[in-house]
Structure 1
Amino acid sequence: MAESLLFSFAESLIGKLASRAVEEASLAFGVHSELQQMKATMALIKGVLLDAEQRNPLSSALSEWLRLLKRVFSDAEDIADDFQCEALRKHVVKTYGDSSRKVRHFFSTSNPLVYRLKMAHRIQDINTRLAKLAAQRSMFGLQIIHQDTRVVHVREMTHSHVNPSNVTGREHDKNQIVKLLVQDVHHQTLSVIPIVGMGGLGKTTLAKLVFNDTNIDACFSLKMWVCVSNDFELRNVLIKILNSDPNPTENFNNFETEQLQNRLRNTLQGQKFLLVLDDVWNEDCVRWDDLKEIIDSDVEGSKILVTTRSHEIATMMRTKFSNFYLLECLSEKDSLSLFLKSAFEDGDEKKHPQLLEIGKEIVKKCGGLPLALKTVGSSLFSRVDKKEWESIRDNEIWNLKQNEKSIFPALKLSYDQLPSYLKPCFASFSLFPEDNEFCCSHISTLWEALGFLPPSKESESVTDVTYQLLHELWSRSFLSDYIDYGTDCSFTLHDLVHDLATYIAKGEFERIDLRNPKISENVQHLAFTDNNLLAQAFPLTGLRSLRFPFGMNNEAFLNTILSTCKYLRVLELCCYEYESLPDCIGKLKHLRCLNLEFSKKLKGLPDSVCKLQNLQNLSLCGCIKLQKLPKGIKNLISLRSLSITTRQLDFPEEEIASLTSLEKLIFCSCDNLVSLFEGILLPTLKILSLHDCKSLKSVSFHAISNLKVLNISECDKLELSMSLGNQIPNSRLKSLILKDLPQLVTLPQWFQGSVNSLETLAIVDCINFKELPDWLPTLICLKILVIFNCPNLLSLPENMHHLTNLKELKIIGCPELYKRFKPKVGQDWHKISHIEKVFIVGLENKEEC
């Protein structure tokens, strides 16, 4: 299924070949015309890739053609990156080499003439292979589609009939939605209530239960059911609505749009109606507004019930006083009931106690998704062989026999609808284990290193761009347990969504474990879970990313990998078991991410690491024996993120100040550091985290006036209360988290400089914190306020109602605040009652509004 990622790769690669660095390098080395030829042939081939992706099933010949194409595209990407590496190398030599012979020698490369000939030969080889593949495309009858605006295959049209006895676990949901539909909403003539959730949750089934409820019959004089699916063209939707009459008297297919809208308005005139729009995919608000204007009949209480997988569509369609209904997975009890109903004749499960126990494990795998429970259960109906049940339990759901109504098509339909730039992002989730909790900052490191992120705007960080893409995936119901912190977010994947990512990515992204020990020949992104499986990795030379298991303890294997996989972009070596890295790490000139977190035996890095001008992320947190950073770290001119644990006394601040791309800096357990940023400026830094730096006394925050995110925790000696003369009046801080700081009594005055920008404020485990300043209500942008375990905080400032943008307030472990602000009954409840979401936890009780 990795073929579905090829169009996105082609788009990205053509953009990279057109970059300024590649253009300049190709002119300098005399290969500009050859590179232009390469781009032109790629553009020609790209035109048919969308059609190729939609061929199902792929013929063996077409599959092989796409495989060869991916290989030559990958080789072309290596050339583009090689030119960029050369440009960065020259920049370092030009910047530092004039004053240092050592720098010039350190970054010396092969003879320029030899390099030019080698690159020319590689480009010629690629052009020859591309020309051959381009000539072969006509063999497959592929059509040219230049833009990813395809209409995806949609499921069959739905209808309104349902047998309630066949539905399990949705009675409460039905009652809640019926209640929303029958109530009058502030004299509004037309309100819209969307039901939102991932594919396979049973949104349509729930809508059917509601549609056929007797309370609905009593409330609405007219009911209409329309399956919209991917077709939201106004004329077609109007025809579907008119045809929803069970006894149509006319054929509306020959009507013009004007006639249709007149006929529909006449039909709706004076009637209180319920219209169900099932399976809506359209995100064009103009089309929706056109339809809504026609069907708004000025009869109070008319309602539209919408089912959709998209949060964005739900937000677009809902009306002023309504909200969308987020449909959750079934409970464990209801899941088991539905599974047993599908797998056994009524009561027969009692005859097979062994199968029942296996069935409970299968139910857990289905994660409360009704369609999955029914699909898997039905596949086992009338089968009593224990081995068959165990096979289903131990294999991915994709190995089950599928039909058009099964779980796989239901979920893959959402994937097919993704824009091409999101598909490789989604596929990358397959590298992580099930039940993994993700955060935006971690994912942004991976996606940037692999070139999945679109270019950021001038004011955006890489994390900002990733956050937007994740929000889009969440809006399409791919992400679960999504928590938005304003500047970051966390989420998980439903097990079956994770399985979908694994299926989609197979052959390109692979996670090697005991269940899946084999490696595809053309894999580019590889994650190991066990050191005993490392021997499976030979021969592999085209790897782009490699995640070793925690505690990697095979130094000989690492040396071999570093020597053969010279195009690595990502190398993760968490909990590495040796005191140093091989010096040949410096030859991985394409490397963008090096993760050595919690390598507790690591004492130092070779200076050759500083040859990695493409390196964007270097993570050394938890490396408690690391003596110092390598010499020449200023040469890492692409470095965006640096997280370190070090024993050194003097941080190389002047070298760090030379890193003009640096956006994120994390200090963790740097026990010997006393001060930071004295006499330097870090204008590009946007995220700073200081954690468990026991000796740290002072930080010159003036050096980082463009900071957006500041996290400080367990820095007992750090002086936070700077004098008034040290205020930072124009700071851009958006998120501030202060944790486990016994010296903190109130917020330092200098934070007031962020009055026009701060969105998230959290004060956690500060046992001596006594007051929030009177100027707190002037934080006009504040959206989230969290106060956790601050027992000496007795009150909140007056004028809390001035925080009109505050959406969420959490107060946990503050006994006096719990008494005063207890929802609805506390003496000061009225001061915060305007906040949309209030969560207050006392010593033993909790209240939420």
Structure 2
Amino acid sequence: MAEYFVFEIAESLLGKLASNLYEQVSRAFDLYEDVQSFRDTLSIVKGVLLDAEEKKEMKHGLREWLRQIGNVCLDAEDVLDGFECQNLRKQVLKASGTTRMKVNHFFSSSNSLVFRFRMARKVKNVTRRLNKITADGNKFGLERIDVDNRLVQKREMTYSHVDASGVIGRESEREEIFKLLMQPHPNGDGYGDQSVCVIPIVGFGGLGKTTLAKLVLSDERMDGIFQLKMWVCISDDFDIRHILIKIINSASDPTISVVPQESMNNLDIEQLQGRLRHKLSCQKYLLVLDDVWNDNRAKWIELKDLIKVGAVGSKILVTTRSTSIASMMGTVPSYVLEGLSVENSLSLFLKWAFREGEEKEHPYLVDIGKEIVKKCRGVPLALKTSGSSLFSVFDSQRWEIMRDHELWNLKQQKDDILPSLKLSYDQMPSYLRHCFAFFSLYPKDFGFTSAEIANFWATLGLLRSPFGSQKIENIGKAYINELYSRSFLEDFEDFGTIYYFKLHDLVHDLSLYVAKEEFLMVNSNSRNIPEQVRHMSVVENDSLRHSLFPKSRGVRTIIFPVNGVGVGSESLLETWIKRYKYLRHLNLSNSSFATLPNSIAKLEHLRALILDKNFKIKRLPNSICRLQSLQKLSLRRCLGLETLPKRLGMLISLRKLFITTKQSVLSEDEFASLINLHTLIFEYCDNLKFLFRGAQTQLSSLEVLIIQSCGSLESLPLHILPKLEVLIVTRCVMLNLSLNSERPIQKLKMKYLHIEHCPRQHTLPEWIQAASNTLRTLSILSCHCLETLPEWLSTMTHLKMLHIVNCSQLLHLPSNMHCLRALEDLIIDGCPELGRKCEPRSGEYWSFIAPIKCVSIGETRKKKLLFQLHSRMGLNCT
């Protein structure tokens, strides 16, 4: 049963209609009465939408009624956004329009007279349609419910990361797997076919197979047995080449140079096997192949033949839901994972439903919880999501509703959604359910960052501040926190200003289940794009054909989320621009067209245009600067791009700008006109020597500056960035951050500072002291010339994370490290002498750092995640 998200769309529309902008614009174009009429009708409809959504399962006709309401609301949103586009055009004309621009505007379809007649017709049309559908809804006897009670539920936004000590009821299972790993190969530990033992863990979805495998892999005893530990998630795609690349990457130390994935994509199987042999030869390894769905024995034998190159005693641990797949792959009998015991199930449920010890104050709720626990059948994922959805809820009626819901009667089949997941989803606020559906556009096991997904939601207008003035970026992080608190996210890592996370396979299945009407992931099995699809992703290169698009017109989102998959046809791009005139988000990453059509300017509603890793494109049409609604423009790794388009400053809505260009000088004036610019990234700008040399005008809205692989850059104008909170600098070999040639810096608002591979850096720059009251995260990576950490580092009273990796010349910590009382996370790795001094119990610095909550000395798990994260942020840390 698909969701329609109509309540959220209607509420968003009413919020727009209540703003001063729409009142002023509608009066200016003599459309005030028409707009008010639509607003009044929509207010009436919104009142019964929640009741309709609750009853749609019982009344089939309500589903169609909701679908029609949703279509009208989306069309109305397109009409209202037309007002915003016109208003932005007028602002640009007023601020910087030449006489020629104003004459062209007079004769265009966007001048006031033409616009008025066109918009009046559209407003009347959607009002007429809405009135008709409203009348049809009277026959359903719907009750008025104006407020989604889920909106006011107060929740605790954070949980600590669940490590080995936080996993309940799997201690004996871990020991049994450990014993299996210690046993010799059943047919002898020779070479050839007998060189690798394969141990399958089998069980249905949500039981915790992956968690158990992680417990085993992270067990300290494994380090003394296996020289190399690797983790590869397989999921639905059993492509031999991709799996080999994943194994090679997993076997690589991320802090030393390896072949970039873009290059490995061009290698054939024989070349990849050569690289794999180099990595695994003479190494006794443990390889986890997580979540295998492939039942083709020939493919498995082909892969096994390629990876049996390690030392005697190497082992492969496989997790799968299928007993037949486990039997096909295993060289020993499968380990069948069972559900948790009743006692452990209750403990896990209570852990997520209450704060520690709080359950003793609510014995009646615990009794209801025991009955819910029985229905979860020992499945950890079901127990966590059920408990999380009731966290801080002390109304017994809410608990009873979950206990007695008919969804528990669903029979669990291989591809079924666990009833507890759907119940937990239904209890989300409507705005969160709408955002959650967008995860369906990504493949399983996709690694998300909070910045990427929050920006995606923002460009589609899905983020709303409960307080009116909250930053979009903070709202996005709050939404992700909320999803995490409800146990819908896993592998969650907090890196200060950004989160990294994944979705459990069953949670991903749930996103597909609730989003199947308006969302579509296009692959080689896709035959057409249904008319009702609004958001689509493309995940396979051979899936794009003109015949896919005969009917669809209302698509708002097109993305290419998989590395190496993009569009190469300029004619197909022209078709999309012509057909999908209401596109909001267009991500053409990994594409290979040489020319972006001038017609791109017709997409006046476009809010995000992403052209990352297009190596053929040399120039962008100047018409792109007529996209006044554009909030994000990304040109990352467009290595052939010679120059930025002229009049970039016309993009007055732009918040995020990512640049790769061959230019050596950039105009300060153009950037000063971008009054809403929040994030600015320069990447692989090899010729760029100065950022706004001699600049006087401040970029007063910029909060995030990332500079990567700009080999000629000599200085940074930090004095013109009064609101800068995040600075990331990596692989800028000519840059010495200690030199500030412009003006002295008195005060900074910086919260996150990352310095990597800057060979001219012998010590930390003095200006960091200007951020003593704000800095929370400091990362120093691969600064091989760094010799000392200054004593003033102890003045960073808010510093929570300090990461020092591959700084081989660094010998000492500041003597007053104990003054960093806010420090919670310390990583020291690749610093031989310093690492020795920080060794637990024996190191001379151990007494200073022992009180820190999380200390990693020479550990690689979080270090690898750190490098992967920075790579996703535009930092090639290999």
TM over 0.5: same fold? Answer: yes
For the 8 Å contact 1:279–1:307, the answer to whether it is kept is: no
SS of 2:855 mapped into structure 1: strand
- Whole-angstrom CA distance in 1 between matches of 2:385 and 2:542: 45
Report the Cα distance in structure 2 between the residues aligned to 1:783 and 1:108, rounded to whole angstroms: 58
Q: Which runs of 5+ in 1 are unaligned?
A: 153-167, 176-197, 214-223, 245-274, 281-305, 318-371, 380-391, 399-406
Contact map agreement 2:345 2:373 (CA 8 A) in 1? no
Distance 1:458 1:209, change over 3 A: closer
Pairing partner for 2:659 from 625, 638, 644:
644
Aligned to 1:796: 813
Once the two structures are superposed, the pairs formed by residues 208-219 of structure 1 within 5 Å of their partners are: 208-210=342-344
Paired residue type of 1:739 = E
**2:29 maps to what in 1?**
29
- Asked if 1:599 is matched to 2:598, the reply is no
Q: CA deviation at 1:466?
A: 1.0
Q: Which residue of 2 aligns with 1:469?
A: 479
Which residue does 2:716 correspond to in 1? 699
TM-score (norm 1): 0.72
Instruction: Report how far residue 5 of structure 1 moved.
Output: 1.3
Aligned to 1:502: 512
How much has 1:59 moved relative to structure 2? 4.0
| SS at 1:672 equivalent | coil
Residues 435-471 of structure 1: per-residue CA shift (max 9 Å, x gap)? 1111111112211110001148798543222111111
2:346–2:370 contact (8 Å) kept in structure 1: no
Deviations 1:299-333 (A, max 9, x none): xxxxxxx977566987999xxxxxxxxxxxxxxxx
Amino acid across the alignment from 2:493: I
Aligned equivalents of 2:583 and 2:139: distance in 1?
A: 35
After TM superposition, the structure 1 = structure 2 runs for residues 277-356 of structure 1, keeping only pairs within 5 Å, are none
1:546 is aligned to 2:545: no
Q: Which amino acid aligns with 1:130?
A: L
8 Å CA contact 2:830–2:858 kept in 1: the answer is yes
Q: CA deviation at 1:542?
A: 0.8
Aligned residue number for residue 181 of structure 2: none
Q: What one-letter code is carried by the residue in structure 1 that aligns with 2:598?
A: D
User: Is the alpha carbon distance of 1:45 and 1:785 closer, same or farther for their aligned partners in structure 2, counting shifts above 3 Å?
Assistant: same
Deviation per CA, 1:84-141, whole angstroms, max 9, x where unpaired?
Answer: 00000000001112x5534663686325323211111111111111111111112222
Do 1:682 and 1:703's aligned partners in 2 also have CA atoms closer than 8 Å? yes
Counterparts in 2 of 1:829 and 1:151: CA distance versus 1, 3 Å: closer
1:194 maps to none
1:154-189: per-residue Cα shift (whole Å, max 9, x none)? xxxxxxxxxxxxxx97355999xxxxxxxxxxxxxx
Q: Does structure 1 conserve the Cα–Cα contact (< 8 Å) formed by 2:727 and 2:752?
A: yes
Note if 1:776 corresponds to 2:793.
yes
1:207–1:646 CA distance, 2 compared to 1 (3 A): same
Provide the secondary structure at the position in 2 that maps to 1:468: helix
**Partner Cα distance (2:351, 2:727) in 1:** 50
> Post-superposition shift, 1:200?
7.0
1: CA distance between counterparts of 2:724 and 2:791? 24
User: Taking structure 1 as reference, are residues 515 and 55 closer, same or farther at Cα in structure 2, changes over 3 Å only?
Assistant: farther
Q: Partner residue of 1:101? A: 100
Partner residue, 2:145? 145
Cα deviation for residue 728 of structure 1 reads 2.0
Contact 1:226 1:276 in 2 (8 A): no
How far apart, CA to CA, are the structure 1 residues paired with 2:607 and 2:860? 47
Q: Secondary structure at the match of 2:791?
A: coil
One-letter amino acid of the counterpart of residue 809, structure 2: N
Q: Evaluate the alpha carbon distance shift between residue 228 and residue 771 of structure 1 in structure 2; reply closer, same or farther with a 3 A threshold.
A: closer
Cα distance in 2 for partners of 1:312, 1:745 equals 51
- Return the alpha-carbon distance in structure 2 between the equivalents of residues 84 and 843 of structure 1: 49
Which residue identity is paired with 1:539?
K
CA RMSD of aligned residues (A): 3.7
The 8 Å contact of residues 526 and 546 in structure 1, kept in 2 or not, is answered as yes
2:627 maps to 1:615? no
State the Cα deviation string for residues 595-647 of structure 1 (Å, max 9, x = none).
Answer: 00000001111111000000000000100111111111110000000001001
Residues 200 and 411, structure 1, Cα contact 8 Å, conserved in 2? no
- The correspondence for 2:499, drawn from 459, 466, 489, is 489
Q: Which residue of 1 aligns with 2:318?
A: none
- 3-state DSSP of counterpart to 2:418: helix
Deviations, residues 652-699 of structure 1 (Å, cap 9, x unaligned): 221111100000000000011110123131110000000000111111
Question: 2:592 matched to 1:577?
Answer: yes
Counterparts in 2 of 1:153-232, with a 5 A limit?
Answer: 170-172=170-172, 206=340, 208-210=342-344
Asked if the contact 1:762/1:785 (under 8 Å) is kept, the reply is: yes
User: Structure 1 489/240 Cα, relative in aligned 2: closer, same or farther at 3 Å?
Assistant: closer
- Structure 1 residue 226 displacement after superposition: 14
CA change 1:807–1:119 in 2 (3 A) is: same
User: How do residues 449-464 of structure 1 correspond to structure 2 at under 5 angstroms?
Assistant: 449-455=459-465, 461-464=471-474
Question: Hey, what's the Cα distance between the residues in 2 that align with 1:600 and 1:149?
Answer: 50
For 2:604, give the aligned amino acid.
Answer: K
- 1:588 maps onto 2:603 in alignment: yes
The structure 1 segments of at least 4 consecutive aligned residues displaced by more than 6 Å after TM superposition are 198-205, 224-229, 233-236, 275-280, 310-317, 456-459, 842-846
For 2:579, which of 540, 543, 564 is the aligned residue?
564
Does the 8 Å CA contact 1:570/1:594 hold for their aligned counterparts? Answer: yes
Q: Would you say the 8 A contact 2:346–2:373 is kept in 1?
A: no
Is residue 770–residue 793 contact of structure 1 (8 Å, CA) maintained in 2? yes
Which structure would you say has the larger Rg? 1
Q: What is residue 536 of structure 2 aligned with on the other side? A: 526
Q: Match for residue 125 of structure 1?
A: 125
C-alpha distance in 1 between matches for 2:150 and 2:821: 43
Partner Cα separation in structure 1 for residue 371 and residue 788 of structure 2: 52
Rounded Cα–Cα distance in structure 1 between residues aligned with 2:689 and 2:733: 12
In the TM superposition, residue 767 of structure 1 has moved relative to its aligned partner by 0.9
Q: Which amino acid aligns with 1:778?
A: T
CA distance in 2 between counterparts of 1:123 and 1:667 reads: 43
Q: Tell me, which stretches of 5 or more residues in structure 2 are unaligned?
A: 153-167, 176-204, 212-337, 375-382, 395-406, 864-878
Aligned to 1:742, which of 745, 759, 768? 759
Per-residue Cα deviation, 1:790-848 (whole angstroms, up to 9, x for no partner): 111101001111111111101111111121110122122001111011010179999xx
Deviations 1:761-809 (A, max 9, x none): 0001111111111111110110111001111110100111111111110
Q: What is the number of equivalent residue pairs in this alignment? A: 659
Using the aligned pairs only, state the percent identity: 40
What do the CA deviations read for 1:48-83 (whole angstroms, capped 9, x no partner)? 111221225354422221111111111110111000
- Kindly provide the amino acid, as one letter, of the partner of residue 620 in structure 1: L
Partner Cα distance (1:754, 1:795) in 2: 23
TM-score (ref. length: structure 2): 0.70
Is contact 2:736-2:758 (8 Å) kept? no
3-state SS of 2:3 partner = helix
Instruction: Report if aligned partners of 1:226, 1:278 keep a CA contact under 8 Å in 2.
Output: no
Structure-1 residue corresponding to 2:456: 446
In structure 2, the CA distance between the partners of 1:501 and 1:471, relative to structure 1 (3 Å rule), is: same
**Structure 1 residues 605, 226: closer, same or farther in 2, change over 3 A?**
closer
Structure 1 contact 813–842 (Cα < 8 Å) conserved: no
AA partner of residue 137 (structure 1): G
Could you tell me how far apart the structure 2 residues matched to 1:236 and 1:765 are?
52
Distance 1:107 1:579 in 2: 33
Shift, 1:234, TM fit:
12
Cα deviation digits, residues 352-400 of structure 1 (max 9, x gap) = xxxxxxxxxxxxxxxxxxxx9x999x75xxxxxxxxxxxx6xxxx13xx
Distance change in 2, residues 1:817/1:228 (3 Å):
closer
8 Å contact kept, 1:623–1:646: yes
Q: Following superposition of structure 1 onto structure 2, how do residues 236-315 of structure 1 map, counting pairs within 5 Å?
A: none
Whether contact under 8 Å (1:509, 1:524) holds in the other structure is yes
Q: Is the 8 A contact 1:786 1:810 kept in 2?
A: yes
Task: Describe the shift of the 1:414–1:61 C-alpha distance in structure 2 as closer, same or farther (beyond 3 A).
Answer: same
Call closer, same or farther: CA 1:685–1:138 in 2, change over 3 Å. Answer: same
* Distance (whole Å) between structure 2 residues aligned to residue 843 and residue 662 of structure 1: 36
| Distance in 2 separating the partners of 1:708 and 1:658 | 20
Q: Which amino acid aligns with 2:626?
A: K
Once the two structures are superposed, the pairs formed by residues 356-367 of structure 1 within 5 Å of their partners are none
Q: Which amino acid letter does the alignment assign opposite residue 781 of structure 1? A: H
